[in-house]
Structure 1
Amino acid sequence: MTCTRCRQFDAAPGGELCRACEAADLHPDVGPSLPQAPPLPRAGGVPQFGPGAPASWLRSPVGLGRAVAVLLGVVALTDLAAVWADVTMLDVLGRVSDGTYGSAIEADADRADRLFALTGAVQTAAFLATVAVFLVWFHRVRVNAEVFEPFGHRKKRGWAIGGWFVPVVNLWFPRRVAIDVWDASSPWAKPRSHALVNAWWTFWLIGNGVSQAGSRAYARAETADEIHSATQVVLFADAFEILSAGLAVLFVLTLTRMQDDKARSGPRPAESEPVTA
């Protein structure tokens, strides 16, 4: 039978707990603030998912993962539109720098300004919507990961959200949470490489830094040459964010699929049960 406390391993012969649960130093009692037990498999060995399931059961990340992927695709499209606006702005600024004047260039400059502002507003709206859904998904996969591996997390579940907003620590806390979730969600017999997580996080950091630099430079720019230089930085940031969004989609869909597959694979195989002295 499966251990009645952790429901991860087979119970020791003649008892209801696994050997890990019997060893207090390796497996302390599960309290309200610690990971709760996962569900016992239903018919076919598949744990029950869904919003009506008890709090101790896994909750499927599939719907949220797909929603995040779609929103990231929208973000990429707004970035593509922003690249077009940036190129249009650079074209007008280049003509002004070359000494072109008149009503025609003024009309083109007005259109470029409006397009630049419009795409920026759409980018911001798409980004904020994506952030909101991503954080819900990220917290869910973090909680699910505690079911797969209750003791393999170096940061509490609250950091899955708070880690993004606390200055300085937001440079590495979200990655640390993601790595622990990734490891806990990997197949029982074969851990997955961290390459995709590291690539996603590296591109996120670079893109975020370049985007902030471009925004600050554009806000300070006054002359045509300064605006031209700032717009070049903004163009690079918008183009780079398209790549970042693509890697983020891969990360979200891969981790979502890993958790779904692992949940459907049932409890940890008996041979993986830790042995205590």
Structure 2
Amino acid sequence: MLCSTCGTRPPVRPDGRCALCAPTAGRARAQALSTPAFTAPQQWLRSPEGLAKAVVVLLAVVAVADLLAVAADINVRTLIDNGFDAGFGGGFVGIDQADADRADTLYAGAGVLQILTTLAAAIAFLMWFWRVRANAEIFDASAQPMRPGWAIGGWFVPVAGLWLPRRIAGGIWSASAQTNTDGTWREVSRTPMNLWWGTWVAAMVFGRFAATRYDQAELPQQIMDAASMMVVSDLLDIAAAVFAILFVRELTRMQGERAAVGLFPLNARL
């Protein structure tokens, strides 16, 4: 049950009005708060649902491209492994040139597909991230640790880009947490956000290491080992894409619920 006057706060008076709408708060203040406090800036909010759907689809495509890359990695490793002579000391005796060319083509093609799909998903994700950050500014500007522009710029800062976006995401998450009907704040588990960020950082760091090892590999055994590392790297990419989907869906849902509450954080805390 909410205040009979403003309809946004729990009643504390016998007549069904909240503390701010009670006569002791002043007639003018009661009139100012007679409509939901969120009504005025409601027009500034923009739903992130459309962008979220696009991000989810593109991340799923990224995961499919990563699966193809895993197949290409395994194909390279298997081809090199078959080139070793198991009968006489395990020395490398060579592989068919046509098979080697096909393996290289498959590996290069999978790499190009990964780049294109990741680029498309990254653009859509940044657009969605900017949208939810803008909404978070309306929900609770005090919960934001950095200015809005960092929602985009933070991703491109060398080294610091490994934690700045997570800091920004934390502020968005806090501002988007739905309040309880009695005006108190509800704690929402940050597990989806932490899993997304942890796997993304791991995939970024290990992926660069594995790619460097693969580019530098010259001997057959080195190529096999590097291909194995690329398998792990691509699997991490898949995990990061899956957890990113969960993060996007959860935060989008939270913002929908938070907007439906129709209450400024400042008023909720009074």
TM-score w.r.t. structure 1 length? 0.78
Does 2:69 correspond to 1:87?
no
**Given the superposition, is the C-alpha separation of residues 270 and 83 from structure 1 closer, same or farther in structure 2, using an over 3 Å criterion?**
closer
Corresponding residue for 2:40? 40
Where structure 2 has 5 or more consecutive residues not aligned to the other structure, the ranges are: 7-19, 86-91, 181-185
Distance in 2 (CA, whole Å) between partners of 1:77 and 1:38 is 41
Does 2:126 correspond to 1:113?
no
- 1:151 aligned counterpart, secondary structure: helix
Corresponding residue for 1:218? 214
Distance in 2 (CA, whole Å) between partners of 1:270 and 1:163 is 28
Distance in 2 (CA, whole Å) between partners of 1:214 and 1:17 is 64
Does 2:9 correspond to 1:13?
no
- 1:188 aligned counterpart, secondary structure: coil
Q: Deviations over 1:178-205 (max 9, x none)?
A: 1110010011121211122111111111
Distance in 2 (CA, whole Å) between partners of 1:269 and 1:169 is 30
Corresponding residue for 1:236? 232
**Given the superposition, is the C-alpha separation of residues 150 and 83 from structure 1 closer, same or farther in structure 2, using an over 3 Å criterion?**
same
**Given the superposition, is the C-alpha separation of residues 187 and 226 from structure 1 closer, same or farther in structure 2, using an over 3 Å criterion?**
same
Corresponding residue for 1:76? 63
Conserved in 1, the CA contact under 8 Å of 2:140 and 2:264?
Answer: no
- 1:140 aligned counterpart, secondary structure: helix
**Given the superposition, is the C-alpha separation of residues 18 and 225 from structure 1 closer, same or farther in structure 2, using an over 3 Å criterion?**
farther
**Identity percentage of aligned residues:** 40
Aligned AA for 1:205? V
Q: Deviations over 1:123-159 (max 9, x none)?
A: 0000011111101110110010011112111111111
Map 1:151-230 onto structure 2 (within 5 A). Answer: 151-189=142-180, 190-230=186-226
Map 1:53-72 onto structure 2 (within 5 A). Answer: 57-72=44-59
Which structure 1 residue ranges, 4+ long, deviate > 4 Å from structure 2? 16-19, 268-271
Distance in 2 (CA, whole Å) between partners of 1:39 and 1:215 is 52
Deviation of 1:263 after TM superposition, in Å, equals 1.1
**Given the superposition, is the C-alpha separation of residues 254 and 206 from structure 1 closer, same or farther in structure 2, using an over 3 Å criterion?**
same
- The two structures, once aligned, show a CA RMSD in angstroms of 2.6
**Given the superposition, is the C-alpha separation of residues 100 and 74 from structure 1 closer, same or farther in structure 2, using an over 3 Å criterion?**
same
**Given the superposition, is the C-alpha separation of residues 111 and 185 from structure 1 closer, same or farther in structure 2, using an over 3 Å criterion?**
same
**Given the superposition, is the C-alpha separation of residues 131 and 116 from structure 1 closer, same or farther in structure 2, using an over 3 Å criterion?**
same
Distance in 1 (CA, whole Å) between partners of 2:201 and 2:214 is 20
Deviation of 1:38 after TM superposition, in Å, equals 5.8
Deviation of 1:167 after TM superposition, in Å, equals 1.1
TM-score w.r.t. structure 2 length? 0.80
> How many residues get paired?
236
- Of 116, 119, 134, the match for 1:125: 116
The structure carrying a bigger helix percent of its residues is: 2
- 1:138 aligned counterpart, secondary structure: helix
Q: Which is further off, 150-159 or 243-252?
A: 150-159
Deviation of 1:119 after TM superposition, in Å, equals 0.4
Conserved in 2, the CA contact under 8 Å of 1:38 and 1:147?
Answer: no
Distance in 2 (CA, whole Å) between partners of 1:119 and 1:155 is 38
**Given the superposition, is the C-alpha separation of residues 270 and 240 from structure 1 closer, same or farther in structure 2, using an over 3 Å criterion?**
closer
Larger radius of gyration: 2
Distance in 2 (CA, whole Å) between partners of 1:67 and 1:168 is 28
Distance in 1 (CA, whole Å) between partners of 2:265 and 2:149 is 30
Distance in 2 (CA, whole Å) between partners of 1:202 and 1:220 is 27
**Given the superposition, is the C-alpha separation of residues 182 and 90 from structure 1 closer, same or farther in structure 2, using an over 3 Å criterion?**
same
